[in-house]
Amino acid sequence: MIFYFSATGNSKWVAEQLADILGENTVSVNEELRNSKSNYTYSLSDDERIGFVFPVHSWGVPSLMLRFIKRLKLNNYNGHQVFSVCTCGDDAGYTNKILEDALKGKGLKLESCHTVQMPNTYIVFPFFDVDDKAVERQKVESAKYRIRKISKAIVDGMEDKSLYVKGSMAALKTSLIYPLFKKYTFGQNPFRVSDACLHCGLCEKTCPTSNIRMEDGKPVWGNQCVQCLACIHHCPVRAIEYGKITEKKGRYVFKEMDEKNGDVTI
């Protein structure tokens, strides 16, 4: 069983690729958190693996994944293999250590953690932007090969440290920048919508914290934002901005080129 959190589709795609190779089912953390009737309880079969797939948020685990893990209940757990795959634009810092501690609190032992480099999505810091199309395609193609290597390591029960990229100054990034990110990005954020809005409500539907409501056909943000940026990237007409900093920046939602006929699929 693979639990995944995904804002722009990168981690969803990685989770689905892993599930297909490993023969596991997937569970969307986004949907579970939005489901008021969910009791976060799941039953395991004897030979099932437990996986966690999510994007790295400022060299740490997304707040929503930690929230989900805290509520998680696994029936029939008996030392099942536990692994994780983090998607990141470049590197992950000590995200693995944060996840390991969170799982330990639930009586779960993280046996291996891996990283897959995927197209950049974080656009609300100065000098941060999406990748150009050539880099985007190259990352996705390289990710396919890396996912196969990770899958083999999981099946073999081996922790290949070369499959986790912590990057330079990892301790500083995770111990200093990550706590600041969690503290100052949660709550009321300066999202706004322009007159280009189509009133489609897609932003409301994609928000994993149900932080967006439609008023007079336009989105209004509450104070439960975790800055996953799902709303800004999924808007089909670029009507959503984060203050002024995103006005000249790109948008990104995962798309894969169909190798047979050249079509783009989402």
Residues 6+ apart with CB under 8 A from 218: 193, 197, 199
Q: Closest Cα to residue 253, out of 265, 239, 240, 241?
A: 265
Alpha-carbon distance of 265 to 250, in angstroms, equals 19
The structure tokens listed for 166 are 């912590």
**Whether 74 and 113 share a structural domain:** yes
DSSP code of residue 225: B
| 184: helix, strand or coil | helix
**Whether 234 and 132 share a structural domain:** no
Q: How far apart are the first and last CA of the chain?
A: 23
Q: Is residue 260 part of a domain?
A: no
Residues 6+ apart with CB under 8 A from 159: 111, 112, 153
On whether the CB atoms of residues 184 and 73 are closer than 8 A, the answer is no
Alpha-carbon distance of 12 to 22, in angstroms, equals 15
**What pLDDT is attached to residue 159?**
83
| 118: helix, strand or coil | coil
**Whether 138 and 232 share a structural domain:** no
pLDDT, one tens digit per residue, over 32-65 is 999 989 999 999 999 999 999 999 999 999 999 9
On whether the CB atoms of residues 205 and 28 are closer than 8 A, the answer is no
**Whether 85 and 191 share a structural domain:** no
pLDDT greater at residue 51 or residue 266: 51
Q: Is residue 265 part of a domain?
A: no
Which residue in the block uniquely carries the two structure tokens 């609190």? 105
**Whether 145 and 214 share a structural domain:** no
Count structural domains, the chain. 2
pLDDT, one tens digit per residue, over 131-190 is 999 999 999 999 999 999 999 999 999 888 899 999 999 999 999 999 999 999 899 889
Q: What angle do CA 134, 140, 144 make, to 5 degrees?
A: 145
* CATH classification at residue 45: 3.40.50.360
**Whether 101 and 199 share a structural domain:** no
| 197: helix, strand or coil | coil
**Whether 28 and 137 share a structural domain:** yes
Residue 257: pLDDT band (50, 70, 90) is low
Global pTM value: 0.94
**Whether 159 and 129 share a structural domain:** yes
Provide the pairing of β-strand 73-75 with 112-117. Answer: unpaired
Q: Which domain does 223 fall in, by range? A: 186-242
Q: Is residue 55 part of a domain?
A: yes
How many residues comprise the chain?
Answer: 266
Backbone angles phi, psi at 43, to 5 degrees: -100, 135
pLDDT, one tens digit per residue, over 84-122 is 999 999 999 999 999 999 999 999 999 999 999 999 999
Alpha-carbon distance of 181 to 38, in angstroms, equals 28
